[in-house]
A and B are shown apart, each in its own frame.
Chain A
Amino acid sequence: DAGVIQSPRHEVTEMGQEVTLRCKPISGHNSLFWYRQTMMRGLELLIYFNNNVPIDDSGMPEDRFSAKMPNASFSTLKIQPSEPRDSAVYFCASSVDSLAFFGQGTRLTVV
Protein backbone atom coordinates (compact mmCIF):
# COMPACT_ATOMS: atom_id res chain seq x y z
CA ASP A 1 0.00 0.00 0.00
CA ALA A 2 1.28 3.46 -0.84
CA GLY A 3 0.11 4.98 2.42
CA VAL A 4 -2.01 8.10 2.75
CA ILE A 5 -1.65 10.20 -0.36
CA GLN A 6 -2.17 13.94 -0.32
CA SER A 7 -2.10 16.44 -3.14
CA PRO A 8 -0.80 18.90 -3.89
CA ARG A 9 2.38 18.80 -1.79
CA HIS A 10 2.78 22.55 -2.04
CA GLU A 11 0.29 25.27 -2.86
CA VAL A 12 0.89 28.98 -3.15
CA THR A 13 -2.17 31.07 -3.77
CA GLU A 14 -3.35 34.63 -3.53
CA MET A 15 -5.66 35.81 -0.82
CA GLY A 16 -9.27 35.38 -1.83
CA GLN A 17 -8.70 32.38 -4.05
CA GLU A 18 -10.28 28.99 -3.49
CA VAL A 19 -7.98 26.18 -2.40
CA THR A 20 -8.81 22.47 -2.53
CA LEU A 21 -6.66 19.90 -0.76
CA ARG A 22 -7.06 16.23 -1.57
CA CYS A 23 -6.52 13.01 0.36
CA LYS A 24 -6.61 9.33 -0.45
CA PRO A 25 -6.63 7.27 2.76
CA ILE A 26 -5.18 3.82 3.20
CA SER A 27 -7.55 1.18 1.90
CA GLY A 28 -9.51 -0.46 4.71
CA HIS A 29 -9.09 2.37 7.18
CA ASN A 30 -12.46 3.51 8.49
CA SER A 31 -11.49 6.85 10.00
CA LEU A 32 -10.06 9.92 8.30
CA PHE A 33 -8.78 13.08 9.93
CA TRP A 34 -7.76 16.49 8.69
CA TYR A 35 -5.19 18.30 10.85
CA ARG A 36 -3.50 21.66 10.49
CA GLN A 37 -0.01 22.33 11.85
CA THR A 38 1.59 25.68 12.60
CA MET A 39 4.56 26.60 14.74
CA MET A 40 2.38 28.53 17.16
CA ARG A 41 -0.48 26.09 17.62
CA GLY A 42 1.01 22.69 16.80
CA LEU A 43 -1.24 20.01 15.31
CA GLU A 44 -4.90 20.95 15.47
CA LEU A 45 -7.75 18.67 14.45
CA LEU A 46 -10.05 20.30 11.92
CA ILE A 47 -12.56 17.53 11.20
CA TYR A 48 -12.83 13.77 11.22
CA PHE A 49 -14.92 11.16 9.45
CA ASN A 50 -15.92 7.67 10.48
CA ASN A 51 -17.07 5.44 7.63
CA ASN A 52 -17.27 8.51 5.38
CA VAL A 53 -19.60 10.36 7.76
CA PRO A 54 -18.41 13.64 9.33
CA ILE A 55 -18.44 13.16 13.09
CA ASP A 56 -16.95 16.31 14.52
CA ASP A 57 -16.15 19.49 12.64
CA SER A 58 -15.85 21.74 15.67
CA GLY A 59 -12.22 22.32 14.84
CA MET A 60 -12.97 23.92 11.49
CA PRO A 61 -11.98 27.57 11.96
CA GLU A 62 -14.94 29.14 10.25
CA ASP A 63 -17.38 28.86 7.39
CA ARG A 64 -14.63 29.40 4.88
CA PHE A 65 -13.52 25.82 5.54
CA SER A 66 -15.45 22.79 4.33
CA ALA A 67 -14.61 19.11 3.99
CA LYS A 68 -16.20 16.22 2.17
CA MET A 69 -15.70 12.50 1.95
CA PRO A 70 -17.83 11.26 -0.95
CA ASN A 71 -16.48 7.71 -0.69
CA ALA A 72 -14.09 5.60 1.34
CA SER A 73 -11.12 6.39 -0.85
CA PHE A 74 -11.25 10.16 -1.22
CA SER A 75 -11.63 13.31 0.84
CA THR A 76 -11.26 17.02 0.16
CA LEU A 77 -10.69 20.05 2.32
CA LYS A 78 -11.70 23.33 0.72
CA ILE A 79 -10.91 26.86 1.82
CA GLN A 80 -12.89 29.61 0.16
CA PRO A 81 -11.89 32.38 0.19
CA SER A 82 -8.37 31.79 1.47
CA GLU A 83 -6.61 34.24 3.79
CA PRO A 84 -2.93 34.67 4.74
CA ARG A 85 -3.63 33.30 8.23
CA ASP A 86 -4.61 29.98 6.64
CA SER A 87 -0.96 29.42 5.74
CA ALA A 88 0.07 26.14 7.39
CA VAL A 89 0.78 22.50 6.70
CA TYR A 90 -2.41 20.50 6.31
CA PHE A 91 -2.20 16.81 7.11
CA CYS A 92 -4.64 14.08 6.32
CA ALA A 93 -4.48 10.89 8.37
CA SER A 94 -6.39 7.63 8.26
CA SER A 95 -6.66 5.06 10.99
CA VAL A 96 -7.86 1.65 11.97
CA ASP A 97 -7.75 0.19 15.48
CA SER A 98 -6.46 3.49 16.90
CA LEU A 99 -3.31 3.45 14.75
CA ALA A 100 -3.15 6.57 12.62
CA PHE A 101 -0.98 7.10 9.56
CA PHE A 102 -0.35 10.49 8.07
CA GLY A 103 0.07 11.70 4.55
CA GLN A 104 3.05 13.84 3.69
CA GLY A 105 0.98 16.99 4.05
CA THR A 106 0.17 19.98 1.89
CA ARG A 107 2.18 23.10 2.62
CA LEU A 108 -0.18 25.99 1.92
CA THR A 109 1.02 29.55 1.56
CA VAL A 110 -1.55 32.29 1.05
CA VAL A 111 -0.03 35.60 -0.01
Chain B
Amino acid sequence: RKEVEQDPGPFNVPEGATVAFNCTYSNSASQSFFWYRQDCRKEPKLLMSVYSSGNEDGRFTAQLNRASQYISLLIRDSKLSDSATYLCVVEISGNTPLVFGKGTRLSVIA
Protein backbone atom coordinates (compact mmCIF):
# COMPACT_ATOMS: atom_id res chain seq x y z
CA ARG B 1 0.00 0.00 0.00
CA LYS B 2 1.32 3.42 -0.95
CA GLU B 3 2.10 5.76 1.93
CA VAL B 4 -0.14 8.54 0.65
CA GLU B 5 -2.83 7.91 -1.91
CA GLN B 6 -4.92 10.36 -3.88
CA ASP B 7 -7.33 10.17 -6.76
CA PRO B 8 -5.30 11.63 -9.67
CA GLY B 9 -8.36 13.14 -11.32
CA PRO B 10 -8.67 15.23 -13.33
CA PHE B 11 -11.59 16.94 -11.69
CA ASN B 12 -13.20 19.25 -14.24
CA VAL B 13 -15.61 21.64 -12.55
CA PRO B 14 -17.39 24.85 -13.59
CA GLU B 15 -16.57 28.16 -11.96
CA GLY B 16 -18.46 28.60 -8.71
CA ALA B 17 -18.71 24.90 -8.00
CA THR B 18 -17.70 23.23 -4.77
CA VAL B 19 -15.16 20.44 -5.10
CA ALA B 20 -13.66 18.07 -2.54
CA PHE B 21 -10.55 15.93 -2.61
CA ASN B 22 -9.71 13.08 -0.28
CA CYS B 23 -6.41 11.51 0.56
CA THR B 24 -5.53 8.44 2.63
CA TYR B 25 -2.30 7.71 4.45
CA SER B 26 -0.95 4.39 5.65
CA ASN B 27 1.20 5.25 8.68
CA SER B 28 -0.99 5.69 11.74
CA ALA B 29 1.93 7.35 13.56
CA SER B 30 1.86 10.31 11.17
CA GLN B 31 1.76 13.58 13.06
CA SER B 32 1.51 16.45 10.61
CA PHE B 33 -0.56 16.93 7.50
CA PHE B 34 -0.60 19.50 4.75
CA TRP B 35 -2.04 20.38 1.39
CA TYR B 36 0.35 21.76 -1.20
CA ARG B 37 -0.57 23.25 -4.52
CA GLN B 38 1.49 22.83 -7.67
CA ASP B 39 0.90 24.81 -10.83
CA CYS B 40 2.02 23.46 -14.17
CA ARG B 41 5.82 23.49 -14.48
CA LYS B 42 6.19 25.18 -11.09
CA GLU B 43 7.32 24.08 -7.67
CA PRO B 44 4.91 22.83 -4.98
CA LYS B 45 3.79 25.54 -2.57
CA LEU B 46 2.19 25.16 0.83
CA LEU B 47 -1.55 25.77 0.65
CA MET B 48 -2.50 25.00 4.22
CA SER B 49 -1.73 22.83 7.20
CA VAL B 50 -4.39 20.38 8.36
CA TYR B 51 -5.28 20.32 12.03
CA SER B 52 -7.19 17.69 13.96
CA SER B 53 -10.00 20.11 14.64
CA GLY B 54 -10.25 21.07 10.98
CA ASN B 55 -9.35 24.47 9.65
CA GLU B 56 -10.57 26.98 7.16
CA ASP B 57 -8.79 29.59 5.08
CA GLY B 58 -11.19 31.62 3.00
CA ARG B 59 -12.77 29.31 0.45
CA PHE B 60 -10.60 26.37 1.50
CA THR B 61 -11.44 23.93 4.29
CA ALA B 62 -9.17 21.08 5.38
CA GLN B 63 -10.15 18.23 7.65
CA LEU B 64 -8.38 15.30 9.22
CA ASN B 65 -9.89 12.01 10.27
CA ARG B 66 -7.26 10.12 12.26
CA ALA B 67 -9.44 7.09 12.91
CA SER B 68 -9.93 6.47 9.20
CA GLN B 69 -6.54 7.92 8.24
CA TYR B 70 -7.78 10.36 5.65
CA ILE B 71 -7.47 14.03 4.93
CA SER B 72 -9.81 16.15 2.88
CA LEU B 73 -9.72 19.49 1.11
CA LEU B 74 -12.88 21.36 0.20
CA ILE B 75 -12.83 24.29 -2.20
CA ARG B 76 -15.95 26.44 -2.34
CA ASP B 77 -16.87 28.88 -5.11
CA SER B 78 -14.13 27.59 -7.42
CA LYS B 79 -12.18 30.16 -9.43
CA LEU B 80 -10.33 29.67 -12.70
CA SER B 81 -7.14 30.42 -10.76
CA ASP B 82 -7.73 27.36 -8.57
CA SER B 83 -6.77 25.14 -11.51
CA ALA B 84 -3.69 23.26 -10.35
CA THR B 85 -2.55 19.96 -8.88
CA TYR B 86 -3.25 19.54 -5.18
CA LEU B 87 -0.77 17.41 -3.26
CA CYS B 88 -1.62 15.69 -0.02
CA VAL B 89 1.40 15.65 2.29
CA VAL B 90 2.14 13.72 5.47
CA GLU B 91 4.95 14.01 7.99
CA ILE B 92 5.67 11.15 10.38
CA SER B 93 7.39 13.32 12.97
CA GLY B 94 9.27 16.58 13.20
CA ASN B 95 12.38 16.88 11.01
CA THR B 96 11.47 13.82 8.96
CA PRO B 97 10.83 14.31 5.28
CA LEU B 98 7.44 15.14 3.94
CA VAL B 99 5.80 12.29 2.06
CA PHE B 100 3.83 13.44 -0.94
CA GLY B 101 0.87 11.93 -2.69
CA LYS B 102 0.96 12.05 -6.48
CA GLY B 103 -1.58 14.83 -6.51
CA THR B 104 -5.09 15.46 -7.73
CA ARG B 105 -5.47 17.60 -10.80
CA LEU B 106 -8.21 20.22 -10.76
CA SER B 107 -9.37 22.11 -13.80
CA VAL B 108 -11.91 24.90 -13.24
CA ILE B 109 -13.76 25.76 -16.43
CA ALA B 110 -15.43 29.03 -17.32
Q: Which A residues are within 8 Å of any B CB, using their own CB?
A: 30-31, 33, 35, 41-43, 45, 48, 50, 56, 91, 93, 95, 97-105
B44 in complex: contacting residue of A30, A43, A48, A56, CB < 8 Å: A43
Question: A56 to B42, alpha carbons, bound, how many Å?
Answer: 26
With contacts A43-B87, A50-B95 taken as known, whether A102 is within 8 angstroms of B100 at the C-beta atoms is no
Q: Which residues of A contact B43 (CB under 8 A)?
A: 91, 102-105
Question: A63 to B100, alpha carbons, bound, how many Å?
Answer: 24
B71 CB to closest chain A CB, in angstroms?
Answer: 15
Closest to B8 in A: A42
Question: A31 to B94, alpha carbons, bound, how many Å?
Answer: 10
Known: A91-B43, A101-B46. 6 other contacts (CB 8 A): A33-B97, A33-B98, A42-B102, A98-B32, A99-B49, A100-B98
Closest to B100 in A: A43
With contacts A50-B95, A98-B32 taken as known, whether A42 is within 8 angstroms of B100 at the C-beta atoms is yes
Does B46 contact A42, Cβ atoms closer than 8 Å? Answer: no
Question: A29 to B62, alpha carbons, bound, how many Å?
Answer: 26
Question: A31 to B103, alpha carbons, bound, how many Å?
Answer: 23
Interface residues of B in 2-55 (CB under 8 A from A): 32, 42-46, 49
Question: A105 to B100, alpha carbons, bound, how many Å?
Answer: 16
Does B103 contact A42, Cβ atoms closer than 8 Å? Answer: yes
Does A31 contact B95, Cβ atoms closer than 8 Å? Answer: yes
Q: Which residues of A contact B42 (CB under 8 A)?
A: 104
